[in-house]
Structure 1
Amino acid sequence: MIYTVKRLGLILLCFSLFNQSFSQEKIPLPEHPRPDFERLEWQNLNGNWAFEFDKKDEGEKAQWFKGTKPFTKTISVPFPWGSPLSGVKDEADIAWYSKKITVKPEWKGKRVFVTIGASDWKTTVWLDGKELGSHEGGYTPFSFELTNIKYGSPQNLVIRVDDKRREFTLYGKQGYGNARGLWQTIYVEARGQNFVDALHFTPDIDKKQVKVTAYLPTSPVKDLDVELTIGAGNQKVVVHEVFPKGKTEYSFVVPMPAARLWTLEDPYLYDASLKLGDDVVKSYFGMRKISTVNLPNTNYKYIALNDKPVYMQLALDQSYHPTGFYTFPTDEFMKNEILLARNIGLNGIRTHIKVDVPRKLYWADKLGVLVMSDLPNFWGEPDKNAQKESEFTLREMIKRDYNHPAIFSWITFNETWGLRTKQEINGKKQNIYLPETQKWVASVYRLAKSLDATRLVEDNSICCGAGHTETDINSWHEYLPGSGWEKHLKTIDENTYVGSQFHYEKGYLQTDVPNINSECGNVWGYEGSTGDVDWSWDYHRMINTFRKYPKIAGWLYTEHHDVINEWNGYYRFDRSEKETGVGELVDGMGIKDFHADIYLSTGNEISRSVKPKEEVTVPLYMSVMTDKNLGNSLNLKVSLYGYDALGQKKTWGSFSKTVPYAPWLQKEIESLKLTMPDEKSVVIAALVLEDNAGNVVHRNFTTFIVEGSTPTEMTLLNGKKAKLVSIEPKNFSNAQWSKKQWNVLDGLKVNGAGSGFFEYKIKVPTDAKFESASFVAEVASKQQFAKDMDKKLAGNEDYMLGAIAEPSQNKNAYPMTDTSRYPSAVSVSINGVFAGRYDLSNDPADHRGILSWHNQPQDRKLYEAGSYGYRLGVNIPQKALEVARTTGEFVVRLEVDGSLPGGLAIYGDKFGRYPMNPTILLVGN
């Protein structure tokens, strides 16, 4: 679990080696960057380019564009400069690129263009010293025609990029890694004399047709023949039309009488090819409809796909890569990004304040994952320059991404970033969301609707005291501890309705639109945020609560993967997996169960203190977000099992019952009555829902802490009786550690970092007669995190503007179990006699640390939440028993030596996984 500087260094080393392999290949990202707008005659220019920083901004005056100056560096395009994959460090705001290109002789008679997928921010291009053009903007493609071509001969293509920081440019979250210079594929292509500038497909499943619109940059002087081909082979449809002279836009309709719809289960794409004169463009589209409908049997508006409501279960996707920043290393990586969401049961992502890479959107189209697409934000005030830049980029992103069926909404602003104006009020400087800015935001909403009437538009994904103006979605953000979700969602449920001012700015009211959360989690829910923690516990509580409130038509969790200062991702920044532990708590359960369309919730509370033999009531809420026909009932299997006061796994009973089922059912159903064990224990109540064919449709669980007295005698699982002598972890008689020793929550858990030991003196009861004995305890290795060090790590903490964070520096942090391990080994000696050496594989924290979560103080802070250990069982040697009979005590030393100094944590009966203190078991005849 070493997700610190060491781990990041390892990541960078791996990708450095990967980068070396790129430089041996010539072309990174060799695929055509836009499968939705592709010409067959094209040449990828990615790969190694000569490169030079222009620190003094003297290149233009010195005519570097002529190509006579030798550049001293080499950069791997299209990776932004400063990113490890680019091969160059970030040394200046202006830089130059140079590469020899050869235009194919067979392209004579065509018009040849160079296209740059994206470059931040002002980009100027020359060919053999002749300027081709200049472009301002950071996210969308642009092209310049090559007019001085020497077919078949090398020519010098030179590019200058000025990425000086400007307050009005759409910076987004480039503090996670700047998209400096070229950051998407650059290529040359041959086009027709009258070429298509954009090709849009507008499906209409109600009329069973698709509208096709071709756009030209200039109007033709004569009519042009148009041939559209949809599909392939026997399924091919060919349509002939005429593009009229004097026009730059022409639309026609193609009937699709038996169209195969694009759905999440069957994301079918129609291939298409348009020939206009001597220009040919390949594309694709999906026959699907985005709208809003009522959830059946309610008046709750839901986002709908093909007229069927979709319960939105999305992830916020920062869409960053640790060594490519805005740019991903391979097409396969982009495909996997979509699969990572899909494979855990999510149905969508929100690409956060970044216009995403077209091939990633292509994989969302191909694999069936919905996308909310954000307009990136500026960081200055909403002046004329910022407004112009925003509107330009919005137009261009909709133009570019119109054909992606996966995109169901455009979000024009996020959390009012950049929309506040500094003003002095009563002598105090304040940042105000002015009424005139709100009017502009509403006008941008209307602009988006005018550019694309087929999708939903959000004016502002709101939080932090600002509200909506005009919007198709009443979205809102909230970050809370798990315990806070019941109160919050109840408030949302009661206050959102048609005509409500809740969530809206003055002068604007809620219309009949879906009410969804568009950012949630606990990453900012605790004082000072959460650092790197086990998110699964709070996540479980949050999702359980959302499923009780069907008026809220979905949620969007922060986030798909970790980034520099947020570690609540489903995956690490390097996309390695995290371990929730739920599969061990309920056999077969995974995170996908939290995203099941049929969900049985036990409510917000997932752990409860109870008494031995107490009869408890467990509320049940059935949330069905599907129209599957499974009959009128499901089978619920309930099992009670867990751990006793010695950490032994036990089963206390099981039963089955039927529960009601119907498509779209949203209902509190009959509660469960459960009788608790007659002993101190941690109990897991596993709930497994099966259909009538025996297929599992959902798994969930809740837990109980049976707070009985600590036993002094027990019958072991082998049938033998034993006397028990326990000691609290904090009551050690001696301890020495090379790095640090400290206790958690007044000694519920004790930690020692590095090498060293804990020693305990445990008295033998005077009446004890024993033949054998053993020692049991819950222990783990113990990594010393940054927050546990006596000195604070220095550094800039403005992560949005480029700070590098140490995840475990946050006071709440306790890194969640993942694919990395932090091993240690503990040697146990008793009364001076060596009893064994035991490997401790890790220092874990996840859902299995039930007691560590249950006993957290509710003070908006976390104290090693979710951490737990392993059950250590040690047979006490006979020599040690003889000493104990003489001295009347056991001296137990748990020691970690310098050969594997991974530290040691010892858990008590109110922390970790098992309800036990370190214990001696005295077994008689």
Structure 2
Amino acid sequence: MAAAFAVVAAGLSNAPAASAADPPQWQRLEPPLSTPWTDQVSPDNALPDYPRPQLTRDKWQNLNGTWEFSAANPGDAPPIGQGLDERILVPYPVESALSGIMRHETSMWYRRTFQVPPDWQVGAGERLVLHFQAVDYDTTVWVNGQEVTHHTGGYDSFSADVTDALTDAPDQEIVVGVNDPNDAGTQPLGKQRTAGDGIFYTPSSGIWQTVWLEPVKPAHIDKVDTTADVADGSVTVNAAVSDGDGTQTVEATAYDHGTAVGTVTGEANKPLQLKLDKPHLWTPDDPFLYDLQVNLSSGDSVRGYFGMRSISVGKTADGKQRMLLNGKFVMQLGPLDQGFWPDGIYTAPTDEALKFDLEQEKALGFNMVRKHIKVEPDRWYYYADKLGLLVWQDMPAMKDDTDAPPDAQVNYESEMHRMIDQHRSFPSIVTWVPFNEGWGDYEVGRIADQVKEWDPTRLVNAESGVNCCRSEPDSGKGDIYDDHTYTGPGTPAPDATRAAVDGEYGGLGLKVEGHEFDPAGSFAYEMEPDSATLTSRYAELQQQLLLAGQQCGVSAGVYTQTTDVEQEVNGFFTYDRQVKKMDFAKVREANLAVINGVDGAPQQGPVITPGTPGIDGIAAYPFDENTGTTAADSVGEHDATLAGGASWTEGHQGSALAVNGSGQYADTGASLVKTDGSYSVAAWVKFNEVGDGFQTVVSQDGSDHSGFFLQYSGADHKLAFSFVGTRALAPMTPEANHWYHLVGVRDAATGKLALYVDGQQAATRNACLLDEAAGGNTVIGRGQYDGNPVDFLNGAVDQVHVYDRALTPDEVTQLYTSGA
């Protein structure tokens, strides 16, 4: 069979797990950091809450608590009737301190016994169902020596009817075999890695969500899906039913604070439309939920809830495609939420802890949260529904450094389909995210279409961070174009059919002594010295996001992140949830300013002057002197001064400026362009060497950094025309000792940066926000950052032209041809 454990014939033995004189005991081990809830965890209260809020029954039995445990070898026979030597606290992952094991195991056994409560009528009109909310990864379950289920998938729930495996003995035995290859496999695993490092973390193997029992009637409700139709004022209720002896009739009733407001009756396993009079819509500001009672003609009855809301993409008054909630634009703002804990890793220590992060996010003024490549227990989504937080739900990624083989792709789609099916009724979830930054991605456009087919009621974000990392080229599919820029925020623009979002930005860090998971390895995208500076920088980023929403049409922003996670120290809270790292009142104020300040109304665009006509521009430097320390401006009145020992060399035509990458450049002595309007710069350049360092050909100084950079980007090994945090990158890597003609065009009317290489457009980048007015001198051969000269060119520059307007493609070609 497909399971990782072989079944052998074995009779059930009720041998004790250990000698009565000295039975093993569970012991809480010391985690790297303790949360406020660590010490509250014990075998008596290991996540005792009902695990399935949308389908509740009164009778159930929680099997969380102390189980027997041992490591295993693939192919071993299950230890039926055999005591195991260790004790583990379920449902905490084996690697966690709360489990009592705190080590990684690839293969493992769990064992315990249970008793069927005497008031349950199992075998006499009721069936007994054993539920596992989540086990990572490949699971086989035996009850009294009989295999009852085999499941693969680390993030979805599964169940088994174990009635026929029960015996007349008072104690019934469960044995669970789990195999988790972690990052040696090709299965979805999110950010788990055997050796957690950097942006990847400690794995969570084995049982990590609640295990429980439930008696049901032979004909019973397995699942209730609800789909709101706001325009029609109705909700579709589909009760999936195990029919038992025949077709069943369903009655579904909606309640508003105990008052029935709508009822529908019909055949089970078919969608039924329940009409509501004046439906009360669900929003982040008013997260109203209807209660739902579903009765089956067999006598089965379940309770749940639903919310009335719609999500779509459509044009706002400014003509831009934006994300619409209930037909209206709501700027979505939230944190990246990874759901890791220093004591329980994947599993929050208590239900209060699980709710805590969401409560804090809401208190910070957020109206959205991105659940980052992890799936949470159902109760997490229940709290998001109750609190009023829009949820972007990522699919846990496969490994980021390899291409997924065909069988892994089939499995990935199967697990993603199950994730969607099991979560389609939570009103808080508004967006599915199949891929992130190229991690294990494949056929992105097809997958986006497939997800939309599985759930047409929600938005699809085909690839979060499609501009980043190993992502496939933008497929143009889905409902959202998603930009990742650190520290950012980015300035993506919506297109004809998709909204634009900043799916990740920020990552501002602060180390808090005594609250670091790994002090030596702590890092962030930008480290701050203290809480006040961190708070101030956060407010600056939010102001930039506000402008991106108003001027660029950005519909949402996702800040990295809710809490520190292991080595990452870029959270609002430390990893242990003990320290607030910012002034939360100021954070809330900044967040609400973004949400309330972007309304989709038309914005006053920049006033674009026609500029100076002609191909020569407003300044030109042929560098034909070949002597002295002055380069003449052949068009204007701003001769350039050679600085730092810059000299002369053979040029593309005649002589050229020679600089050695160490403090040498030419200074025009003037601010030649207004960087809050349209402009262009052109130059022939030859690099003596190309490597990991940045080399700037032409720039203009600002108060802190250059207003633009025509450059070689050492981070990308590409030619670029850049603003700080935004680069239009040519696809090719330049060669040393080769002349290239570069033209950077800033078109303020369209909000674009364009880079031309040898007369051909090589890259464009949306940069709808005008950079600060850089009023310093235009310089040749270096840039500026943090108020300092940087990125000195090592090579030669010839025929520099500066324009106070955006050149057309034909003019760029003409300029290149004239110098070729």
Match of residue 543 from structure 2 = 544
What are the Cα deviations for residues 263-287 of structure 1, in whole angstroms up to 9, with x where unaligned?
Answer: 1111111111212223322211101
Aligned twin of 2:418? 396
Q: Summarize the alignment of residues 294-313 of structure 1 with structure 2, pairs less than 5 Å apart.
A: 294-295=315-316, 297-313=317-333
Aligned to 1:148: 165
Correspondent of 1:215 among 206, 221, 240: 240
- Compute the displacement of 1:395 (Å): 1.3
Residues 1:580 and 1:126: Cα distance change in structure 2 (over 3 Å): closer
Pairing 1:118–2:134 present: yes
Q: Which residue of 2 aligns with 1:107?
A: 121
What does residue 442 of structure 1 align with?
Answer: 445
1:90–1:258: structure 2 CA closer, same or farther, 3 Å change rule? same
The residue number in structure 2 matching 1:559 is 561
Is 1:79 aligned to residue 79 of structure 2? Answer: no
Give CA deviations for 1:524-580 in whole Å, capped at 9, x if unaligned: 999994457554344333222222232112211111111123211111111233344
| Alignment correspondent of 2:627 | none
**Distance in 2 separating the partners of 1:543 and 1:20:** 37
Specify whether residues 271 and 451 from structure 1 end up closer, same or farther in structure 2 by C-alpha distance, changes over 3 A only: same
Per-residue deviation at 1:387?
A: 1.1
| Alpha-carbon shift at residue 151 of structure 1 (Å) | 6.6
Q: Do 1:193 and 1:278's aligned partners in 2 also have CA atoms closer than 8 Å?
A: no
How far apart are residue 455 of structure 1 and its match? 0.6
Secondary structure of 2:554's partner?
A: coil
Quote the residue 2:579 is aligned against.
Answer: 577
Aligned residue number for residue 624 of structure 1: 597
Instruction: Give matches, 1:603-682, under 5 Å.
Output: 624-625=597-598, 664=601, 666=603
Contact 1:51–1:95 (CA<8 Å) still a contact in 2?
yes
Q: CA deviation at 1:448?
A: 1.5
| Alpha-carbon separation, structure 1, partners of 2:391 and 2:275 | 27
Change beyond 3 A, Cα 1:223–1:466: closer
Structure 2: distance between partners of 1:527 and 1:563: 10
Structure 1: gaps (5+ residues): 1-8, 420-436, 499-511, 584-588, 600-622, 627-662, 671-853, 862-925
Q: Partners of 2:314 and 2:579 in 1: how far apart?
A: 36
- TM-score, normalised to structure 2, is 0.63
Cα 1:667–1:29 shift into 2, 3 Å: farther
Q: State the alpha-carbon separation in 2 of the partners of residues 308 and 524 from structure 1.
A: 35
Question: What letter corresponds to residue 61 of structure 2 in structure 1?
Answer: Q
Deviation at 1:597, TM superposition (A): 4.0
Asked whether the 8 Å contact 2:434–2:461 carries over to 1, the reply is yes
Matching residue's letter, 2:478:
T
Contact 1:290 1:303 in 2 (8 A): yes
Answer yes or no: is 1:45 the counterpart of 2:63.
Answer: yes
Aligned to 1:821: none
Equivalent position SS for 2:271? strand
8 Å CA contact 2:448–2:460 kept in 1: the answer is yes
> How far, CA to CA, are the matches of 2:60 and 2:523 in structure 1?
54
Find the counterpart in structure 2 of residue 454 from structure 1: 457
- Report the equivalent of 1:815: none
Q: What does residue range 814-829 of structure 1 map to in structure 2 within 5 Å?
A: none
Q: For each residue in 1:296-340, what CA deviation from the matched residue of structure 2 results, as whole angstroms up to 9, or x when unmatched?
A: x30112211111111121111111111111110111112211111
User: Aligned partners of 1:532, 1:77: CA distance in 2, in Å?
Assistant: 39
Superposition deviation, residue 161 in structure 1: 0.7
In the alignment, structure 2 segments of 5+ residues that lack a partner are 1-28, 194-200, 511-521, 608-783, 792-820
- In structure 1, how many angstroms separate the alpha carbons of the residues matched to 2:238 and 2:138? 30
Partner of 2:506 in structure 1? 521
Q: Contact 1:115 / 1:186 at 8 angstroms: preserved in 2?
A: yes
- Residue 105 (structure 2) aligns with: 92
Q: Look up the match of 1:260.
A: 280
Q: Look up the match of 1:782.
A: none
**Pick from 456, 476, 484: which aligns with 2:483?**
476
Q: 1:523 & 1:187 partners in 2: Cα distance?
A: 41
Structure 1 residues 446-455 or 229-238, which shifts more? 229-238
Cα distance, 1:860–1:179 mapped onto 2, change above 3 Å: farther
CA distance in 2, matches of 1:859, 1:559: 32
Structure 1 residue 294, shift from structure 2 partner:
2.6
TM-score (norm 1): 0.56
1:396 CA displacement: 1.1
Counterpart in 1 of 2:154?
138
1:289 equivalent in structure 2? 310
Matches of residues 219-230 of structure 1 in structure 2 within 5 Å?
222-230=246-254
Matches within 5 A, 1:140-539: 140-146=156-162, 147-150=164-167, 153-165=170-182, 166-175=184-193, 176-216=201-241, 222-231=246-255, 235-237=259-261, 239=263, 241-243=265-267, 249-276=269-296, 277-295=298-316, 297-379=317-399, 380-419=402-441, 437-438=442-443, 441-461=444-464, 462=466, 463-464=468-469, 466-469=472-475, 470-480=477-487, 489=491, 492-493=492-493, 496-498=494-496, 512-522=497-507, 529-530=525-526, 535-539=534-538
Q: 1:479 to 1:533 in 2, by over 3 A?
A: farther
Indicate the SS of the match to 1:338. Answer: helix
Letter in 2 for 1:569: G
Distance 1:357 1:374, change over 3 A: same
Does the 8 Å contact 1:112/1:191 carry over to 2? yes
Alignment coverage as a number of residue pairs: 551
| Local SS of the residue matching 2:547 | coil
Tell me: CA distance 1:860–1:92, structure 2 relative to 1, closer, same or farther (3 Å): farther
Q: Distance in 1 between matches of 2:34 and 2:547?
A: 45
- Taking only the aligned residue pairs, the percentage that are identical comes to 30
Alpha-carbon deviation of 1:456?
A: 0.3
* 1:77-103 deviations in Å (ceiling 9; x for gaps): 100001011111225311111111111
Q: Distance in 1 between matches of 2:790 and 2:395?
A: 33
**For residues 407 and 527 of structure 1, do their structure 2 counterparts lie closer, same or farther at Cα, with a shift above 3 Å needed?**
closer
Offset of residue 595 of structure 1: 1.0
Return the alpha-carbon distance in structure 1 between the equivalents of residues 235 and 334 of structure 2.
28
Equivalent position amino acid for 1:196 in 2: I
C-alpha distance in structure 1 between counterparts of 2:128 and 2:567, whole Å: 44
- In the alignment, the residues of structure 2 paired with residue 860 and residue 38 of structure 1 have an alpha-carbon distance, to the nearest angstrom, of 63
> Contact 1:120/1:181 (CA < 8 Å) preserved in 2?
yes
Gap change, CA 1:390 and 1:407, over 3 Å in 2: same
Quick one: distance in 2 between partners of 1:857 and 1:240?
68
Cα deviation code 1:754-810 (max 9, x no counterpart): xxxxxxxxxxxxxxxxxxxxxxxxxxxxxxxxxxxxxxxxxxxxxxxxxxxxxxxxx
The Cα of 1:120 is off from its aligned counterpart by 0.5
Task: Describe the superposition over 1:121-162 as per-residue Cα deviations: whole angstroms up to 9, x where unpaired.
Answer: 111111111111111110000001112224782111111111
Contact 1:193-1:279 at 8 Å conserved across structures: no
- Tell me: CA distance 1:371–1:326, structure 2 relative to 1, closer, same or farther (3 Å): same
Q: 8 Å contact 1:19–1:87 — kept in the other structure? A: no
User: Any idea what the Cα deviations from partners look like across 1:860-881, whole Å, max 9, x if unmatched?
Assistant: 99xxxxxxxxxxxxxxxxxxxx
Q: The residue matched to 2:142 in structure 1 has which SS?
A: strand
Q: Which runs of 4+ in 1 moved over 6 A?
A: 524-528
**Aligned partners of 1:93, 1:859: CA distance in 2, in Å?**
52
Find the partner of 2:588 among 582, 588, 592.
592
Contact 2:508 2:538 survives alignment (8 Å): no
Distance 1:597 1:529 in 2: 24
CA distance in 1, matches of 2:147, 2:202: 30
Name the aligned partner's letter for residue 305 of structure 1.
L
Provide the rounded CA distance (Å) in 2 between the counterparts of 1:10 and 1:196.
43
Q: CA deviation at 1:857?
A: 5.0
Q: Which amino acid aligns with 1:186?
A: V
Question: Given that residues 507 and 561 in structure 2 are in contact (C-alpha distance below 8 angstroms), is that contact kept between their aligned partners in structure 1?
Answer: no
Partner of residue 32, structure 1: 50
